[in-house]
Every structure is written in C-alpha cells, then in structure tokens.
C-alpha cells in the first residue's frame, strides 16, 4: 500500500526547519536532464561534420528533443497519474538513461534524432511531477524558491555539464558526451531512490487524462502556457546557435566556446536565484518584468556580438534573463491550476518551455538559411519574447479587470442591500 502524502501543514513545518532532502535529489535529476538538453549546443559543429549534415539540420536535433517533451509531457503524466510520485520519478530517469545510451550508440543522424526524442519523453513529466513535489514540501510563501532550487540543476548543468560535455566532444568525440550523460542518469536514479521518500513525494493525482486536461479550459492557464512558449522561444533562437555565433560572428576559436558557456551558466544561476526570490514577493511584477528584461537583453545582444568582450558579457546576461523567467512562468501556471489538474498543468508548462525551444531553434535555422543570416538572430529572438510579454500582459489585464468588476458588483449589492434596509 502506498504511504499517504504528507499533509501540507507537516510539510511546511519540516521545511521551516531545514530544506527537504527531496529538493536536492530533484536537483540532481534536473542536472542530468539539463545536461542532455543543453549540451548539444556545444556539439553542433562536430555533429554536423561527423554525420555529414548542415549546421541548421544538426540544430533540428534541439527541435526534435523539444517536440518530444511537448508530446511526452501530457501522455506520460496521464499514464503515471496513478503511480506513486517517487516511482514515477524513478521510471522517468530510466527512460532518460536508456535514451542517452541510444544516442551514444546511434550510427546515423536519423537514429540519433529518434534517440533524442526517446530521451526527451521523460523531460516534461519529470519536471512537472518534480515541481508538484517541490512545492508541496515547503511553506506557501516559499513555493517559488522551491521551484528555483529544483531548477538549479538546470543552471548547474549549463555551468558545468555543458562546458565539460563540449570539452569531451571536442577531445574524445561527441559520443563520449552521451556516455557521460548516461552515468549522470544512473547517479540521479540512486539519489532519488535514497532521498525522496514515498511519504514526502505523495501519490499521483489518480484522475483520468480527460479529467486532467480540463485544466486547459481555464483561460489564464492557457495564456500562461502561451506566454511560456513565446517568451522562451527567444532564448533558444539564439542559444541553439551559440557556437556558430561565437565562432563565425564574434570570431572566437572553437576551443574557447566551452569556456565562454561558463558565463551562460553563471548567468543562469544568478537569474534562477533572482527569479525565485522576487517571484515569492511580487509574482505578477516579476512575470512581466523578467520577460521585458529578457527582450531588452536580446535586442542589445544583436549589437554586442560583434566584439569579444561584449559578446562574452551578453552570453552571461542571456543566461540571467532566461532563467529569471522560469520561476514566475511556472508559478503562474501552477497558481491558476489549483486542484486535480495541477500535475498536468505543471507538466504542460514544461512542455511549453520546450515547444518554445523547438520554435526558437527552427526559426533560428530559417533565419540562417533563408533569412537575414546568423548575425541577426538576437533581434528576431527579441520579437518572440516580446510576444510572450504581450500574452502575459493581456492575462494580467484580464485578471485585474475581472477582479475589479467583481469588486464593483459586490459593492453595488451591499449598497442596494443597505438602501432597502
């Protein structure tokens, strides 16, 4: 029999004494998934040369992964809805590890694409279920901070995993990178098994896919998902092609790219911390402010990539701007999806991040092959993020207009009641 989920009161009390070890176990899992997602950006030139495809075609491996997340998130979330959350997290890490094993052994581009899609299936549901676990073991005013703790795994993956993976690919071949990620997957399984208790993780929602998908009938959930797609698409329109941008536009030698990517990782950690703390204080302001800041960074980055020093600086600022948006975007959807559909909404928002990744990577390839060219990517990316800001702004406006209308209606009722008395 599955242990009952820990009460929110008990979870809050425990979290007030010390951070739950479950959060750190989830962070390790996030590190593995983040490494396999992002590391390919530092391997594009090697992959393209070895598999005899263009850089833009190699970039589609990012789009394929992202689309796999988008499809896999709702399907696996529903399939695992009746499974204890700890068991679900372990099963997802098994899929992740086997997928990376297939990547390491892939004999051709087509097989590598299929293997990447298999790997990606676990991504959305892991973060979706993980987000529910993370926010359930902390007090209500620490939910965004808990999310940022889990997503620290992604930032550390970019700070350490991606540069090390790029170095492995450059010196030992790109397959060596995927073998290393397989090892990370095994470690992640071990720490989740050890430190995530069945009681702390709780049970799945136990509802059908049809019931879970009813969350999509909520306007602000849908608008939150759309804001995530377009807001984050701008990041990957640039970051997917960061290696050729730095080598062909800025003029760095290929061997320095993995070092420069450390700046992106440092920026991600900073943005993640800022996003988590400020979102707990002012979630709506942070939602709009973070998207506006990201769009500004992308606009200025278009000018900065022509010079070595400013290019390195803006690689870091891109990481800060990108991950400052994660906590407010994720919390926005979670807060508008209270109830049985929360796990599904959480997974769908992770899928939305990755749909944005796919959109950005695809549009970036179009700009390179058929548009104004590589150097113009940051400006095209800024337009995408501004679209996300517009959707978020509309959602907030609708919400406030509805609240004002309800308040006015209540005041009128009270006035009428007072007059009749």
**CA 8, CA 10: separation in Å to the nearest integer?**
5
Cβ-contact 43, 49 below 8 angstroms: no
* pLDDT tier, 145 (very low <50, low <70, confident <90, very high otherwise): confident
- Predicted confidence (pLDDT) per residue in 173-225, tens digit: 889 999 999 998 998 889 888 887 666 656 665 566 677 777 778 889 999 99
- Predicted confidence (pLDDT) per residue in 62-101, tens digit: 888 888 887 887 888 778 877 888 888 899 999 999 999 9
Phi-psi region of 177 (alpha: psi -120 to 50; beta: other; left: phi over 0): alpha
* pLDDT tier, 4 (very low <50, low <70, confident <90, very high otherwise): very low
Provide DSSP, 76-137: HHHHTTTS-HHHHHHHHHHHHHHHHHHHHH--SHHHHHHHHHHHHHHHHHHHHHHHHHHHHT
Straight-line distance from the first to the last Cα atom of the chain, in angstroms, rounded to the nearest whole number: 58
**How many angstroms from the chain centroid is the CA of residue 348?**
11
**Does the structure show a pLDDT above 60 at 3?**
no
What is residue 138's DSSP assignment? S
Provide DSSP, 204-244: -----HHHHGGGGGSHHHHHHHHHHHHHHHHHHHHHTTHHH
pTM: 0.72
Measured CA distances, 343 to 74, 88, 203, 346 (Å) = 9, 12, 11, 5
| 97-135 exposure pattern, b = at least 16 Cβ within 10 A, e = fewer | bbbbbbbbebeebeebbbbbbbbbbbbbbbbbbbbbbbb
Structure tokens at 137: 């073991």
Structure tokens at 86: 């700890």
Cβ-contact 347, 74 below 8 angstroms: yes
**CA 113, CA 349: separation in Å to the nearest integer?**
23
For the chain, which domains are there? 8-400 (1.20.1250.20)
What is residue 54's DSSP assignment? -
- Predicted confidence (pLDDT) per residue in 339-368, tens digit: 666 777 877 888 888 788 888 988 998 998
Cβ-contact 120, 66 below 8 angstroms: yes
């Amino acid at each position: 029999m599955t242990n009952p989920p820990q009460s929110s009161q008990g979870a809050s009390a425990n979290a007030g004494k010390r951070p739950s070890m479950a959060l750190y176990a989830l962070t390790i899992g996030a590190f593995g998934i983040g490494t396999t997602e992002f590391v390919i950006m530092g391997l594009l030139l090697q992959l393209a040369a070895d598999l005899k495809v263009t850089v833009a075609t190699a970039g589609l491996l990012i789009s394929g992964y992202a689309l796999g997340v988008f499809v896999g998130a709702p399907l696996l979330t529903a399939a695992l809805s009746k499974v204890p959350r700890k068991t679900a997290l372990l099963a997802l890490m098994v899929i992740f590890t086997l997928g990376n094993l297939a990547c390491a052994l892939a004999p051709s581009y087509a097989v590598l694409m299929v293997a990447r899609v298999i790997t990606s299936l676990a991504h959305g549901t892991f973060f979706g279920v993980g987000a529910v676990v993370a926010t359930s073991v902390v007090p209500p005013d620490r939910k965004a901070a808990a999310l940022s703790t889990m997503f620290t795994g992604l930032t550390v993956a970019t700070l350490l995993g991606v540069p090390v993976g790029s170095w492995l690919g450059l010196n030992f071949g790109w397959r060596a990178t995927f073998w290393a990620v397989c090892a990370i997957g095994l470690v992640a399984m071990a720490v989740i098994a050890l430190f995530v208790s069945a009681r702390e993780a709780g049970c799945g929602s136990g509802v059908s896919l049809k019931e879970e998908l009813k969350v999509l009938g909520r306007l602000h959930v849908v608008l939150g998902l759309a804001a995530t797609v377009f807001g984050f698409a701008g990041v990957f329109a640039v970051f997917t092609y960061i290696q050729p941008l730095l080598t062909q536009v800025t003029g760095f030698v290929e061997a320095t790219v993995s070092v420069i990517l450390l700046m992106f990782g440092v920026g991600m950690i900073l943005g993640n911390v800022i996003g988590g703390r400020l979102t707990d204080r002012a979630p709506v302001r942070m939602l709009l402010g973070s998207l506006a800041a990201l769009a500004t960074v992308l606009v200025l980055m278009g000018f900065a990539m022509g010079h070595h020093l400013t290019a390195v600086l803006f690689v870091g600022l891109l990481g800060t701007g990108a991950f400052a948006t994660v906590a407010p975007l994720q919390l926005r959807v979670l807060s508008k999806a209270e109830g049985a559909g929360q796990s599904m909404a959480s997974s769908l928002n992770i899928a939305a991040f990755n749909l944005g990744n796919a959109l950005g990577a695809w549009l970036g390839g179009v700009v390179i092959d058929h548009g104004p060219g590589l150097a113009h990517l940051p400006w095209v990316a800024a337009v995408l993020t501004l679209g996300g800001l517009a959707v978020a702004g509309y959602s907030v406006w609708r919400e406030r207009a509805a609240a004002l209308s309800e308040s006015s209606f209540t005041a009128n009722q009270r006035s009428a009641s007072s007059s009749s008395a």
